[in-house]
Amino acid sequence: MTIRFVLMVNKQGQTRLAQYYETHKMDERCALESEVIRKCLTRTDTQCSFYEFRGYKIVYRRYASLFFIVGVEGDDENELAILEFIHSLVETLDRYFENVCELDIMFNLEKAHFILDEMVMNGCIIETNKTNVLAPIQLLDKAGG
Amino acid sequence: MSIRLRELIRNVRACKTQADERACIHKECASIRTAFKEESNELRHRNVAKLLFIHMLGYPTHWGQMECLKLIAGNKFLEKRIGYLGLMILLDERQEVLMLVENSLKNDLQAQNQYIAGLACCSIGNISSAEICRDLSPEVEKLMVGSNPFVAKKAALCSIRILRKCPELVDTYVDRVGTLLGSRNHAVLLTSLKLMREMCIIEPGMVDQLRRHTATLIAALKNLVLSGYAPEHDVHGIVDPFLQVEILRMLRILGTRHAETSDQMNDILAQVATNTESAKNAGNAILYECVLTIMAIEVESGLRVLAINILGRFLINRDNNIRYVALNTLHKVVGQDAQAVQRHRNTIVDCLKDNDSSIRQRALELVYALVNEANVKVLVKELLSYLMACDVEFKDELTQRICHVVEKYATDKEWHVDTIIQTLLVSTSFTSEETVCSLIALITSNPDLQAYATHKLCATLAARTTQPVLLQLAVWCVGEYEYTINALMKLTSRFPAGTPAHAMIHKQLAHYSTSMSLELQQRSAWSKDGLQIMFMATKDPSNPSVTRVEATFNNSTGGDMEGLNFQVAVPKYMQLQMKPPSSTAVTAGSSGSVKQLFQLANSMHGQKPIVLRVKIDYNTMGRAVSETGQVDNFPPGF
The 10s digit of each residue's pLDDT in B471-530 is: 888 878 877 775 444 455 555 555 555 566 666 666 655 554 443 333 334 566 777 888
Residue (of B160, B157, B546) closest to A127 by Cα position: B157
Name the residue type at position B185.
N
B81–A114 CB contact, under 8 Å: yes
Q: Is it the case that residue B144 has pLDDT exceeding 50? A: yes
Lowest mean pLDDT among A39-48, A136-145, B31-40, B220-229: A136-145
The pLDDT value recorded for residue B173 is 92
> Best interface-test mutation with B: which of A117, A120, A138, A140 has the largest number of B CBs within 10 A?
A117
**C-alpha distance from B282 to closest chain A C-alpha (Å):** 6
- Our measurement of the distance from residue B172's CA atom to the centroid of its chain's CA atoms, rounded to an integer in Å, reads 33
CATH code where residue A51 lies:
3.30.450.60
B325–A80 CB contact, under 8 Å: yes
> Best interface-test mutation with A: which of B25, B71, B242, B291 has the largest number of A CBs within 10 A?
B242
B358–A25 CB contact, under 8 Å: no
CA distance B403 to B254: 40
- Our measurement of the distance from residue A38's CA atom to the centroid of its chain's CA atoms, rounded to an integer in Å, reads 16
Q: Which domain holds residue A74?
A: 3-142
ipTM of this complex: 0.96
The pLDDT value recorded for residue B589 is 81
Residues 6+ apart with CB under 8 A from B520: B511, B514, B537, B538, B539, B541, B637, B638
CA distance B512 to B515: 9
Set of chain A residues whose Cβ sits within 8 Å of the Cβ of B191: 124, 126
The pLDDT value recorded for residue B289 is 96
The 10s digit of each residue's pLDDT in B589-609 is: 887 788 898 988 888 887 888
A78–B157 CB contact, under 8 Å: no
**C-alpha distance from A81 to closest chain B C-alpha (Å):** 5
Closest CB to A126: pick one of B57, B153, B288. Answer: B153
A145–B77 CB contact, under 8 Å: yes
Chain A to chain B, count of Cβ pairs less than 8 Å apart? 151
If one counts the domains in chain A, the total is 1
What residues form DSSP beta bridges with B531? B528, B555
Q: For residue A25, how many C-alpha atoms fall within 13 Å in the half-sphere facing its CB?
A: 3
Set of chain B residues whose Cβ sits within 8 Å of the Cβ of A84: 235, 241-242, 281-282, 285
The pLDDT value recorded for residue B43 is 86
Q: Measured between alpha carbons, how far is residue A31 from residues A25, A123, B52, B539 in Å?
A: 10, 21, 19, 47
Closest CB to A50: pick one of B59, B82, B358. Answer: B358
Q: Is it the case that residue A115 has pLDDT exceeding 50? A: yes
Burial (CB count within 10 angstroms: exposed 0-12, middle 13-18, buried 19+), residue B112: exposed
Torsion angles phi and psi, residue A60, rounded to 5 = -140, 160
**C-alpha distance from A49 to closest chain B C-alpha (Å):** 6
> In degrees, to the nearest 5, what angle opens at C-alpha A62 toward C-alphas B290 and A59?
40
A69 close to A60: Cβ distance less than 8 angstroms: yes
The pLDDT value recorded for residue B521 is 46
Q: Is it the case that residue A86 has pLDDT exceeding 60? A: yes
**C-alpha distance from B203 to closest chain A C-alpha (Å):** 16
The pLDDT value recorded for residue B32 is 94
Minimal-distance CA residue of chain A relative to B125 = A122
- DSSP state at residue B606: T
> Best interface-test mutation with A: which of B80, B81, B359 has the largest number of A CBs within 10 A?
B81
What is the DSSP track for chain A? --EEEEEEEETTS-EEEEEESS---HHHHHHHHHHHHHHHHHS-TTS-SEEEETTEEEEEEEETTEEEEEEEESS-S-HHHHHHHHHHHHHHHHHHHTS--HHHHHHTHHHHHHHHHHHEETTEE----HHHHHHHHHHHHHTT-
Q: Measured between alpha carbons, how far is residue A72 from residues A19, A113, B497 in Å?
A: 13, 19, 54
Q: Is B530 left (phi over 0), alpha (psi -120 to 50) or beta?
A: left
pLDDT band at A38 (very low <50, low <70, confident <90, very high): very high
Tell me which of 3.30.1360.120, 2.60.40.10, 3.40.1010.10, 2.60.40.1230 is the CATH number of domain B521-631: 2.60.40.1230
Q: Measured between alpha carbons, how far is residue A79 from residues A60, A82, B100, B230 in Å?
A: 10, 5, 39, 24
The pLDDT value recorded for residue B495 is 59
Question: What percent of chain B has a predicted confidence (pLDDT) above 70?
Answer: 92
- Longest CA pairwise span in chain B (Å): 95
Minimal-distance CA residue of chain B relative to A43 = B356
Set of chain B residues whose Cβ sits within 8 Å of the Cβ of A49: 321
- With the C-alpha atoms ordered B510, B512, B517, B519, is the resulting torsion angle positive or negative? positive
The 10s digit of each residue's pLDDT in B343-387 is: 888 999 999 888 888 999 899 989 999 999 999 999 999 899 888
In chain B, where the domains are located: 430-512, 521-631
CA distance B120 to B108: 6
**C-alpha distance from B214 to closest chain A C-alpha (Å):** 21
Closest CB to A126: pick one of B6, B157, B361. Answer: B157
B549 close to B526: Cβ distance less than 8 angstroms: no
The pLDDT value recorded for residue B500 is 61
Which of A50-59's residues contact partners 24+ apart within 8 Å by CB, and which partners? A50/A79, A50/B321, A50/B324, A50/B358, A51/B357, A51/B358, A52/B358, A52/B361, A56/A4, A59/A83, A59/A86
**C-alpha distance from B318 to closest chain A C-alpha (Å):** 10
CA distance B427 to B286: 42
Averaged pLDDT for residues B409-432: 88
Q: Measured between alpha carbons, how far is residue B225 from residues B176, B248, B302, B304, B378 in Å?
A: 26, 12, 21, 20, 44
Averaged pLDDT for residues A65-89: 93
Closest CB to A81: pick one of B6, B115, B241. Answer: B241
Higher local confidence (pLDDT), B629 or B289: B289
CA distance B26 to B61: 11
Burial (CB count within 10 angstroms: exposed 0-12, middle 13-18, buried 19+), residue B94: exposed
B63 close to B90: Cβ distance less than 8 angstroms: no
Round to the nearest angstrom and report the end-to-end CA distance of chain B: 84
Higher local confidence (pLDDT), B632 or B312: B312
Residue A137 CB neighbours (<10 A): 21
The pLDDT value recorded for residue B456 is 84
The pLDDT value recorded for residue B530 is 82
The 10s digit of each residue's pLDDT in B390-409 is: 888 778 888 999 999 999 99
- 3-class secondary structure, B624: strand
**C-alpha distance from A94 to closest chain B C-alpha (Å):** 15
The pLDDT value recorded for residue B487 is 54
B320 close to B302: Cβ distance less than 8 angstroms: no
pLDDT band at B638 (very low <50, low <70, confident <90, very high): low
Torsion angles phi and psi, residue B75, rounded to 5 = -100, -25
Minimal-distance CA residue of chain B relative to A113 = B85
> Best interface-test mutation with A: which of B10, B71, B126 has the largest number of A CBs within 10 A?
B126
Set of chain B residues whose Cβ sits within 8 Å of the Cβ of A113: 52, 85, 89
Higher local confidence (pLDDT), B490 or B5: B5
What residues form DSSP beta bridges with B597? B550
The pLDDT value recorded for residue B467 is 83
**C-alpha distance from B529 to closest chain A C-alpha (Å):** 39
Averaged pLDDT for residues B462-471: 78
CA distance B482 to B105: 80
Question: What percent of chain B has a predicted confidence (pLDDT) above 90?
Answer: 49
Minimal-distance CA residue of chain B relative to A40 = B358
- DSSP state at residue B362: H
Whether A103 has its CB under 8 Å from any CB of chain B: the answer is: no
